[in-house]
């Protein structure tokens, strides 16, 4: 029996480290909002919750196309073409 729990998303630690190098922690929120604004959206809802020493950040938009590659929704800070070739 496999009792190891799988995470519902992954963090590319090398990608996160490269993006965060020398930046304040607030950069993470700015990056999430910028990703939403890069798409065809109208509203962008941002929610932050801090309970019991755990911070939760969510950013929601109404992009009609959703993710181009749904697997990207499970890995944050992964290298993307937008990073090297922004529109």
| Interval 69-86: pLDDT, tens | 777 666 666 666 666 666
User: Between these two residues, 10 and 33, which has the higher pLDDT value?
Assistant: 33
| Interval 37-49: pLDDT, tens | 888 888 999 999 9
Checking if the pLDDT of 56 tops 60, the result is yes
Q: How many CA atoms lie within 13 A of 67 on its CB side?
A: 10
| Interval 10-31: pLDDT, tens | 777 787 788 778 888 888 888 8
Q: What is the pTM for the complete model shown?
A: 0.54
């Amino acid at each position: 029996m496999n009792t190891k729990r799988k995470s519902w998303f992954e963090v590319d630690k090398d990608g996160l480290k490269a993006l965060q190098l020398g930046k304040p922690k607030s950069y993470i929120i700015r990056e999430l909002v910028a990703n939403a604004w890069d798409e065809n959206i109208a509203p962008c809802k941002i929610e932050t919750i801090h309970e019991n020493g755990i911070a939760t950040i969510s950013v929601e938009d109404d992009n009609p196309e959703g993710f181009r590659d749904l697997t990207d929704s499970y890995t944050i800070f992964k290298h993307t073409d937008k990073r090297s070739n922004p529109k």
